[in-house]
Structure 1
Amino acid sequence: MYDSCSGLERLVSDKTFLLLFQRPVLIIMDRNEDIASSLYHPSTYQALVDDILTIQMNRVKVTVKKSGGGDGGDDGRLMERTYDLDVTSDKFFETHAGSLFPDAIDANEEEMKQVTRKEEQIRAQTGGSDALMNGTKDLVAAVDTLPALVEKKKMLEVHTNIFHAAFEGVTKRHIPSYSMMEQKLIDGSHVDKTEVLQLLSSTEMGTLADKMRLLMIYFLSSGASGAEMAEFENAYQQCAAAAEQPEAYAQAWKFLRKHSAFQRRASVGASLQSEAGAGPDGGVSKFKGLAQGFLAQAAASFKNFLPENKKLHVTRVTDAICEMKPNTEDESFLYLDPKVICGAATRCGRFSFFLTYLVFVVLTQIKANGDVPRQRSPFREVMVFMIGGGNYNEYQNLLAYAKGQQPPRSIWYGCTELLNPEAFLHQLGSIGA
């Protein structure tokens, strides 16, 4: 750190750097500010795979059918494969990690068709008597493209296997129904009570973890009365008893009910559709268009996925702070500016020099601080850190927001621990035990 600060001091002495440099903002938030986003059933590729299959150290384990049949197909046996999901080496994943799950499937099928067409073209150029007529130049060019084409096909096949495994979990657990219901709750839209009760009481629709997540989001977002929550809780308990797990997630639920402070604003903000994708009509047509390939028999189950991203709480706070919007969530945040507090860098030492020129600190919900002069120009460089369990859902939501800005913002997202929704649910249970 000392060496970095020393190098920074020399860099800042360059007047050209000072003209181009923009101070970033560091936003530190507490998980207690928005628990619902950690429980929500996501619909983007990376977040959904993490929810269904669990991503650990950028790796996911998938059960696939073992190849080796006499006709070149599979022999019916199952085997476990481990795949790397790395945006630095996987172009498809880099592009579509934050895409809606059906859109990612659609893109995979389209790219696979393109690869197949190119393979056929190469075979046509290199096979038969026509190859000699075309000359060696075309032949060499075609052969040179073959390794990259084979590698791309392998990568696409990896994602096809992941899609198969994730899709099986999605349909088995009725994830679209939960996703739709939870999005309505978080969005503040009208929710049919009977539909919620059906999901909570049905032994065939979702796991107990899915039901508890829905129950918690309803409690956090709806402002329901005690009698109404008791009815929903009873429906869940009956389902848990039928599954012979009457105490499943009881400690997590008890912990959440005990702390009424968690029942705070949980509604989402404006749509990210203009920033990150198609609008509602375009999204619906995408879902209907999935009636091709291996999704043909179950494409209709995706119709309930909401075809637009909404700004989550962390994204709304980030937007309000970066744009200096008045009367928004950032009003109650503690605002710290080391440059104002320390004054001249030479009086603060080298480490404070580093803070003075690089970091604004906004700390969540401690105390309103209106006495510190604030920067007037919008922030373009943003670091968001979540104290508590972070998740891919928030990460992708922030990236979609950043890409939609003009000019695009640079946003880094960090957390004390990256958890999928079920792991976060278990963590709540451990705290409440």
Structure 2
Amino acid sequence: MNYLKLKIFIYITNIYLHNKIFGKLAFESILKFKHIGGDFMSNIFDNLADRGSVFKDKQFLDHRFLPEHLPHRDEQITSIAKYWIEALNNVTPSDVTIYGKTGTGKTAAAKFAMNQLKEATSSKDVYIRTEYIRCTDYTTEYQVIAKLCQQMGRDVPYRGWTKAEVVNTFRDIFKKTAFGKNMILIVVLDEIDILLKNDGDGILYTLTRTDNVSILSISNYVDFKKFIKSRVMSSFRDREIVFPPYGAQQLVDILQERSDLSFINDSLENDVIPLCAAMAAKEEGDARYALDLLRTAGELADEKESNIVYGALVREAKDKIEHNKITDLIMTLPVQQQRVLEAILKLTMDKEEITSGKLYEMYEEVSKGDSVSYRRIFDFINELEMLGIISTNTISRGRGKGRTNIISLQCDNDILEHALYST
């Protein structure tokens, strides 16, 4: 029996060693060459690497990159600092809320101020912590408090405890001191409106009633406080800072700084940056969109094996970004909303004036018996308008004939058609 086990062991060992040696050699050979039709093709990654690129470092065009200087946001950053400077005197700062459209530098300014405060703290006899929370990732009070506890060294799970246990653990942190100094915590809640809409105002109730905690809220919407009850507003007495949209010339300045870091010298034609800036200025001064345009135009140049980024590539980049944005958005919509869009598309392609009545008729035809009520359609119309996919215009039919909503698409028909029928 022992002899049989030994023979089996030797047999398995030989197979393993054979595969280890010869299999590795064979695999490495496959990586280096592939025989196709009598010709040998070198590794595909080597081929792509040899093509060259207009980029020297693409990361600087990512909107998440935080530069050492934020053009045209000195005033807003200084406003944040004027409130936070109290922390350097060991006083909990006032709560702050910053508003602005997407791409106006809110998150970058908040993170920049956090870094500046950290530098200033190093030479002061105070203990200040700043913690950043993206509310798209942490969408409940429990998750936010658990994350804060974890960032401050407490082992708190994201599920399994009661909310009271998590909150008590969080508050216990402030009962202890660091080297005899009380800790001041500044919590940055980015896109707070998502958290409030999803889980109510409990997070603000907890944070505003915890000693030595200051909140900086970031929102795209000036009306996000409609989600906050009066009992919480009484303790959430925030100071407001508005971030205006960037103008075209301001966007040129931003893109110029980033392009110097990102592109090989002389790889951009003179009209590329002004064109990206002009297009983004029309999109409510969105710097993220401007950066996306410039990066995508550069990627298209690489795809076409061009060593120059030129104006036509920016226009092509605009179409590509729009296509991807609409497609991604449509794929996340509920089926019934997709059917409403399909009905609007059909009526648009038939060159029909789209009233709510005609829309519902076409929607029922598209739904084939699986439809929702006429009243529910109005909710869908409002939601789709908020997303920017459609628009509505109320017109008067004349004396005694009442008023009618006319619905129209705000995106390209072909893009919407592709998005709907590829989901």
TM-score range, shorter chain: under 0.3
| Higher Rg of the two aligned structures | 2
Instruction: Name the TM-score, length of structure 1 as normaliser.
Output: 0.22
Instruction: Name the TM-score, length of structure 2 as normaliser.
Output: 0.23
- Asked which structure has the greater RCO (Cα within 8 Å, sep 6+), the reply is 1
